[in-house]
Amino acid sequence: MTTTDKPYGADHFGFDTDQVHAGEIIGDGFGARITPINLTAGFVFDSFDHAKARFEGDDGAWVYTRNSNPTNAVVESRLTALEHGVDSIVVGSGQAAITVAMLAILKAGDHFLATRSLYEGTKTLFRDNFGRFGIEVEFIDDPHDLAEWQRKLRPTTRAVYSEAIPNPKNDLIDFELVAGFAEQAGLPFIIDSTAATPYLLRPLDHGASVVVHSASKFLTGHGASLAGVIVDGGSFDWGRYPQKFPQFSTPAADGSTYVSRFGAEAFTAYARSIIAARLGPVLSPFNAFLLLQGLETLSLRVERHSRNALALATWLERQPEVVSVDYSGLASSPHHALAERYLPKGAGSVFGFTLAGGQDAARTVIDAVELFTRMTHLGDVRSMILHPATTSHAQLSAADRARQGIDDGLVRLSVGIEDEADLIADLDHAFSVLRSSQPALAATR
């Protein structure tokens, strides 16, 4: 274990050890065991020459928190270790992580491919905001159909984007199939792994180039703050495609390029200094500290989240009022084989189920729960419930909702770490209220 001020990282420990220790620095001069919160805008230069050296990046130390900060750097090292990456950048939210990662790759005139089953906030960011920048997204309807990926490829295509465990439908992709397509097409493959976390899945081990997270969710875990992270796998060869990605191969005044200076870390170096530091979505070191507290118990929480989710999904599947349960951990799920292959430690804990009684039934159940919180958030230790058709997916047309399986009777759960029996009792109570409000259906039981 590292007990000096030498950054941890050379040793290879198990996940549970890494989540507690990777990147830690002990040696702040006071003997503090916990990573201090370095709440400072900037850092002192000892002299004229020291300032010059820091701006030239010569001593690798701190300049200004918009670029980097010692507290944030510990979190970055820890996430790099947990995801099997080469470097990471923390930013103020998941949306900021997606924006920074994609803008480090794309410019006006570029096109990219994304699976359709994505967080709605990501889809509107891609379609509307990126569209205004002249960057065009095209959605893939069937990510298992290699011919569709190939058909939609254009000379201007520059990236492939997907999510690890899409919610609420849990319609998993075959990571290696999509990674194989991206590799063959010479494109980086970016995955939002928010709902999986590195405990359940490490997308970089399955061919992804870059991983992004809303760290506001499971990674922080306690719902107290927002954060985002970009993890670079270091495997995509940016220098091989200077025409497609000129930002990594265009020589600076001294003749060097991002690839020649930073090698496998060229992407993170560029994304940090040219995109994140300029657009400015900084993670407060205070929120980095909260993220670090959450990370220390990640595996314990996610294991429990997944176990509870499977128990609830199994219980829900047995209720006559439930038409379907979209949980890939269930043998009945069309995505179960992919879950067994890619998610052997658990299928996560954010999923939907559809009530036969449509919106009225969903309203009754959602209003009747007492332990579940009615809220748009996920990955919290607390269990949460939401009606996507009237909230997260309300701005879609009815036809688009139908295409994505967002029925009026669909209810989304983010299952927390409370006692399984208490969660089932809460749903059981809500279903008994539903039955008493739907006597005709109750009579068929």
Residues that bind ligand PLP (CB under 6 A): 93-95, 119, 121-122, 163, 192, 194-195, 214, 216, 226, 228, 378
- Residue whose CB is less far from ligand PLP, 86 or 100: 100
Nearest approach, Cβ of 64 to ligand PLP (angstroms)?
Answer: 24
- Specify the residue, 77 or 216, whose C-beta has the smaller distance to ligand PLP: 216
Distance CA(416)–CA(429), nearest Å, equals 18
Q: How far is the CB of 268 from ligand PLP (least distance, A)?
A: 19
- The amino acid at residue 229 is V
Residue nearer to ligand PLP on the CB measure, 23 or 92: 92
Nearest CA among 194, 229, 195 for reference residue 92: 229
| 3-state DSSP helix/strand/coil % of the chain, to nearest 5 | 40, 15, 45
How many other C-beta atoms can be found within 10 angstroms of the C-beta atom of residue 395?
10
Burial class of residue 415 (count of CB atoms within 10 Å of its CB; 0-12, 13-18, 19+): buried
For residues 88 and 23, is the Cβ–Cβ distance under 8 A? no
Are the C-beta atoms of 72 and 285 separated by less than 8 Å? yes
> Between 194 and 404, whose beta carbon lies closer to ligand PLP?
194
Q: Which residue is nearest to ligand PLP (CB)?
A: 94
Q: Shortest approach of ligand PLP to residue 94 CB, angstroms?
A: 2
Shortest separation between residue 190's beta carbon and ligand PLP, angstroms:
12
Question: Toward ligand PLP, which CB reaches closer, 94 or 348?
Answer: 94
Q: How far is the CB of 298 from ligand PLP (least distance, A)?
A: 16
Which CB sits closer to ligand PLP, 161 or 258?
A: 161
- What is the spatial distance between Cα 228 and Cα 215, in angstroms, rounded to a whole number? 5
Order of strands across the sheet with 189-192? Answer: 87-91, 228-232, 210-214, 189-192, 157-163, 111-115, 136-140
Task: Tell me if the bond preceding 439 is cis, omega within 30° of 0.
Answer: no
Min CB(93)–ligand PLP separation in Å = 3
Residue 442 tokens read as 């109750």
Q: Where are the beta strands (DSSP E) in 310-357?
A: 322-326, 350-355
Q: Closest separation between CB of residue 96 and ligand PLP, Å?
A: 7
The CB-of-385 to ligand PLP minimum distance in angstroms stands at 15
In the complex with ligand PLP, which residue's Cβ is closer, 266 or 271?
271
Q: What is the DSSP string of 220-272?
A: T-SSS---EEEEE-S-S-GGG-TTT-GGGTS--TTS--HHHHHGGGHHHHHII
CA dist 213 and 194 (Å) reads 5
Closest to ligand PLP by CB, 73 or 90: 90
Q: Which lies closer to ligand PLP via its Cβ, residue 193 or residue 319?
A: 193
Least distance to ligand PLP, CB of residue 305, Å: 15
Compute the least distance from the CB of residue 191 to ligand PLP, in Å: 10
C-beta of 313 vs 350, nearer to ligand PLP: 350
CA distance 435 to 370: 17
Query: Closest separation between CB of residue 119 and ligand PLP, Å?
Result: 4
Q: Classify the C-alpha dihedral 382-383-388-391 as positive or negative.
A: negative
Partners of 228 in beta bridges: 91, 214
**DSSP class of 392:** T
